[in-house]
Structure 1
Amino acid sequence: MIRRHFLRMAGAAAATAAMPACLRSQEAAAQPVRKPNFLLIIADDLAACELGCYGGKNVRTPNIDKLAREGLRFTHAFASTSMCVPVRASLYTGLYPVRNTVTRNHVAARPGIKSVVHYLQALGYRVGLTGKVHAQPQSVFPFETVPGFEPNCTAQAADYTVDGIRAFMSRDPSQPFCLMVCSVLPHAPWTVGDESRFPADKLVLPPHWIDTPETRRAFAKYCAEVEALDRQVADVLRALDDVGRAL
């Protein structure tokens, strides 16, 4: 911060501190609270160690790395369990599996639980989801369905569009939104992306893996989907910039 900018900031802070408390409170009450928009991009079976921002050696992930560089990178996070549906239910409800009863895949949350949808809707938000849902029942997870991303467990091709995302985010600029973009990448059998970009004999395997030709071939396909995921992140963020609602 340059000196003259710092002095202006310091002067403004001093003037504010000198104001009568009642005057400051009246001015604060008169200022409308601008609610932030939320955009969550959720990967599927992604190991953080394969991302460049976490030291990955095999895949270039410039778009995800840029997010990590400009934002907050977790180093001590954990998942509530190692299965897809319970993790999503915990993320959406803020509850451990033992509390929301989603203790394994293909199990519904108990009725009456509130999710992020209910809490944000009560604050005036539109709450949408595009892609993989894996959260039941609909009464607990009443997301607005946004078209564009693959809703099933796996994708046979890299087909997706951000048109629905763009339409959702640009609708009614006076209303804040929360949008979950739930990719199915990466997920076995790893059919998306160009595995030829990852020569199997050049890949750096985790030290605890059994190093076989089959392992390396499968890992090359996985790396191709991680790369495809990074491109999806770029497209989603570009759509956010296009509609001008990155707040």
Structure 2
Amino acid sequence: MKVFSKISIFILLAILFLSCNTSTSQKKKAGDKKPNLIFYLADDQDVYDYGCYGNEKVSTSAVDRLAKEGMLFNNAFTAQAICAPSRSQLFTGNYPLKNGCFANHTATRPDIKSVTTQMKNLGYEVVLAGKSHVKPTSVYQWDREWEPVPKKDVPRDYIPLDSIEGYFKATKKPFCMFITSKYPHGKYFDVENPNADDIKFYPFNEHKKKDKAYVKSKAGYYRSIEEDNTQIEKVLEMVDTYLDDNTLFIYSADHGVSGKFTVKDIGLKVPFVARWPKVIKPGTTSNQLIHYTDVLPTFMNIAGGKSTDGMDGKSFLPILQGEDVEVNQYVYGVRTNQNILNSEVFPSRMVRNQRYKYIRNFNSIEVVEQNLTGKPNVDYFIQRGAQAFKNEPFEELYDLENDPFEQQNLANNSELKAVKERLVKDLFVWMNEQGDILNEELGNMPIITPKGKKGFKLDQDTPRRQIPDSIKNTLTKDDYIVIQHW
């Protein structure tokens, strides 16, 4: 019996030893696992329309929760306030001019290596769940892609929640997932008897408080934001149920709807909130300038790689880890009004640092005569574009510290001459590096057209603008720069 007892004790100790070793081994293995990366992207939502960004009249509890549990960025930007160009930056790490998608409904250059290639090479599965709006398929080779799901009694399709949940339950490999919502993009909910007092107004829209149609649209927009909030809550519940703390969750919106098609901050500044338990200190903020082109380099850095030569973006991983370091001295913006329903020739470029912002409107009414070509059919559209935005000057300069809503143009302020000259110089260096179709010289006003029969051609009607019969179909391929349409 004594011998049996000794043997039993020995076996028990051995089991405990092996159990401890196994547990330690499993923890080590879990600790060595690469983080899961989730990027939730809303569609057409102003940075000013979140509780965590100061709007107490809108329901964004899920994003507000993320801000409490993670880090809120006060100076995050996209370069273009329009869907396809904004998303192409996230997925390529390059600004729209360099990656090729600088007009809506156009394609990324076919030789670009996107997030699907870059992250697969680092051992990740790359997934798109929801709205795509990027092409070509050869550049964006998702391991899995799920379309938005129709849903009754709501104005927009839902993200594919069932597919996302099934994936979270079953996945074994580290993954990089973009969850791309169709909300709050219009068509909005129809809100009956809306009250202007339930809307928060800002310097850029306070003159519309008594505009009943605007208030009704804004109320529907707020309701659509609330609907997206329910989707985010469901996703976060899944993340907390099925995934471990080694998961970085980023929330953003592709651009602001109030500044869509512009290079103002109401279009280019985006909400950006990141949660990563045990890495990001809860309830923190960052005022550093970050950009959508920085997202892919950051993901590659987290995965153990580094950004490739020629990539515009830089990793902001050190900021997530608690270091207050500069990532970008400047961020840039692009405006292309062609290939949209209200197509006009009015391109703009923007450069911005922490305090000052410079905009050049290349086809302003001030300089339109110098942009004319001598070809009546081409000059009609150049003049038409300038007239469509006749209140926008050739140059704009804003002191964002004192004028965050860009209400006072200081371009002719002699005291800021040196500031403006420095920004102008940097802007044109950047444009040259990007291979821009514009340059500093006046008289260079290229017009673009999508390749093939798709897209919105300048010399044809669209549902929102009419072209005189005498000028319809008069532009030839020699009058255009042809861009790749999808």
Q: TM-score range by the shorter chain?
A: 0.7 to 0.9
Q: 1:142 to 1:246 in 2, by over 3 A?
A: farther
Identical-residue share of aligned pairs (%): 33
Q: Residue in 2 aligned with 1:190? A: 188
Indicate the structure with greater strand content.
2
The whole-number CA distance in structure 2 between the counterparts of 1:109 and 1:84 is 13
Q: Is the 8 A contact 1:146 1:168 kept in 2?
A: no
Higher relative contact order (CA 8 A, sep 6+): 1
Matched, 1:115 2:114: yes
Deviations 1:87-124 (A, max 9, x none): 00001101001110100111101112011111111111
Matched, 1:178 2:176: yes
Give the counterpart letter for 2:200 in structure 1: V
Residue of structure 2 aligned with 1:203, choices 196, 199, 203: 199
Q: Is the 8 A contact 2:156 2:187 kept in 1?
A: no
Aligned to 2:110, the other structure's residue is in SS state coil
Name the larger-Rg structure.
Answer: 2
Matched, 1:95 2:94: yes
The whole-number CA distance in structure 2 between the counterparts of 1:150 and 1:200 is 33
Deviations 1:45-69 (A, max 9, x none): 0111110000013212111001012
Q: Post-superposition shift, 1:246?
A: 4.4
Q: 1:181 to 1:123 in 2, by over 3 A?
A: same
Aligned to 1:195, the other structure's residue is in SS state coil
The whole-number CA distance in structure 2 between the counterparts of 1:39 and 1:164 is 15
The whole-number CA distance in structure 1 between the counterparts of 2:98 and 2:219 is 38
Q: Residue in 1 aligned with 2:231? A: 232
Q: Post-superposition shift, 1:159?
A: 4.7
Q: Residue in 1 aligned with 2:453? A: none
Q: Post-superposition shift, 1:43?
A: 0.4
Q: Is the 8 A contact 1:37 1:246 kept in 2?
A: no
Q: 1:158 to 1:121 in 2, by over 3 A?
A: closer
Q: Post-superposition shift, 1:188?
A: 1.6
Q: 1:119 to 1:160 in 2, by over 3 A?
A: closer
Q: Post-superposition shift, 1:149?
A: 3.0
- After the TM superposition, which segments of 4 or more aligned residues of structure 1 sit over 6 Å from their partners? none
Give the counterpart letter for 2:70 in structure 1: G
Q: Residue in 1 aligned with 2:62? A: 63
Indicate the structure with greater helix content.
1
Aligned to 2:40, the other structure's residue is in SS state strand
Q: Is the 8 A contact 2:55 2:200 kept in 1?
A: no
Give the counterpart letter for 1:187 in structure 2: H
Q: Post-superposition shift, 1:222?
A: 0.4
Deviations 1:124-181 (A, max 9, x none): 1111111110010111111234436349xxx7346555110011223232x1011111
Instruction: Compute the TM-score of the two structures, normalised by the length of structure 2.
Output: 0.41
Q: Residue in 2 aligned with 1:223? A: 222
The whole-number CA distance in structure 1 between the counterparts of 2:158 and 2:184 is 14
Give the counterpart letter for 2:165 in structure 1: R
Q: CA-atom RMSD, angstroms? A: 2.3
Give the counterpart letter for 1:165 in structure 2: I
The whole-number CA distance in structure 1 between the counterparts of 2:193 and 2:175 is 38
Q: Is the 8 A contact 2:159 2:182 kept in 1?
A: no
Q: Return 5+ residue gaps in structure 2 as ranges.
A: 1-27, 247-486
Deviations 1:71-100 (A, max 9, x none): 111111111111110000001101001110
Deviations 1:26-52 (A, max 9, x none): xxxx97732000111000001111100
Deviations 1:7-36 (A, max 9, x none): xxxxxxxxxxxxxxxxxxxxxxx9773200
Aligned to 2:128, the other structure's residue is in SS state strand
Q: Is the 8 A contact 2:130 2:180 kept in 1?
A: yes
Aligned to 1:218, the other structure's residue is in SS state helix
Give the counterpart letter for 1:190 in structure 2: Y
Q: Return 5+ residue gaps in structure 1 as ranges.
A: 1-29
